[in-house]
């Protein structure tokens, strides 16, 4: 997904969130674990925000967007899905992570990584730390087996 410019309200000021912000599904244990991993191990200061609690308007996102995939909002733009992780590697600043980011964006690798991201996202409720809530979305009240939620 190409980067889009973040809104002016999402800047590094006391009026808005401190960038970069990793927006994830706070109802998903797997997603929360991954977000906390990046927050603790990032070489660059990183704010993590469950989309259910975040000021999505200030970040230039909608609930429909945020419930569909993970996002990284930076001064350079907004990156979703697999691109979010490539950008997370890039903003680390060290040569190794920049090389990984470059590799993740090579045409063949980019498609493979995007495919892998979609598989993980679609099945995150089956992964360690995942919960049945991970399979739910506001637009589609059925889980991945086609069972309606309560």
In this structure, is residue 36 part of a structural domain? Answer: yes
pTM: 0.75
Q: How much is the mean pLDDT over the chain?
A: 81
Residue 125 lies in a domain: yes
Of 22 and 19, more confident = 22
Q: Is residue 3 a part of any domain in this protein?
A: no
Q: What is the pLDDT confidence band of residue 124, given thresholds at 50, 70 and 90? A: confident
Is residue 81 left, alpha or beta, with left meaning phi > 0 and alpha meaning psi from -120 to 50?
A: left
**Residue 47 domain-assigned (yes or no):** yes
What token pair was written down for 32? Answer: 């929360």
What is d(CA 90, CA 84) in angstroms, rounded to the nearest whole number?
Answer: 10
What is the tens place of the pLDDT at every residue in 69-119? 999 999 999 999 999 999 999 998 889 999 999 999 999 999 999 999 999
Report percent pLDDT > 70 for the chain.
75
Tell me if 143 is assigned to some domain.
no
Rounded-to-integer distance, Cα 141 and Cα 97, Å: 38
Q: Which domain covers residue 89, as residue numbers?
A: 21-135
Residue 135: the pLDDT is 57
Examine residue 145 and state whether it is found in any structural domain, yes or no: no
Task: Report the domain count for the chain.
Answer: 1
Higher-pLDDT residue of 73 and 131 is 73
Q: How far apart are CA 138 and CA 24, in angstroms?
A: 15
From the list 122, 124, 134, the residue with the least C-alpha distance to 28 is 134
For the ranges 20-24, 51-55, 144-148, the lowest mean pLDDT is seen at: 144-148
Q: Which residue has the higher pLDDT, 93 or 1?
A: 93
Q: Where are the beta strands (DSSP E) in 29-137?
A: 47-50, 71-73, 78-80
Query: Is there a contact between 120 and 28 (Cβ–Cβ < 8 Å)?
Result: no
Tell me whether residue 131 is in a domain.
yes
4 in a structural domain: no
């Amino acid at each position: 997904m190409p980067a889009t410019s973040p809104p002016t309200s999402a800047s590094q000021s006391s009026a808005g969130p401190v960038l970069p912000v990793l927006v994830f599904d706070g109802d998903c244990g797997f997603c929360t674990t991954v977000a906390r991993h990046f927050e603790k191990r990032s070489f660059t200061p990183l704010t993590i925000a469950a989309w259910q609690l975040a000021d999505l308007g200030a970040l230039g996102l909608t609930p429909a967007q945020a419930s569909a995939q993970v996002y990284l909002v930076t001064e350079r733009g907004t990156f979703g899905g697999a691109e979010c992780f490539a950008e997370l590697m890039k903003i680390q600043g060290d040569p190794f992570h920049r090389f990984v980011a470059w590799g993740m964006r090579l045409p063949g690798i980019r498609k493979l990584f995007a495919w892998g991201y979609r598989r993980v996202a679609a099945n995150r409720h089956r992964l360690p730390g995942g919960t049945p809530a991970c399979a739910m979305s506001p637009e589609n009240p059925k889980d991945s087996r086609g069972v309606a939620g309560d």
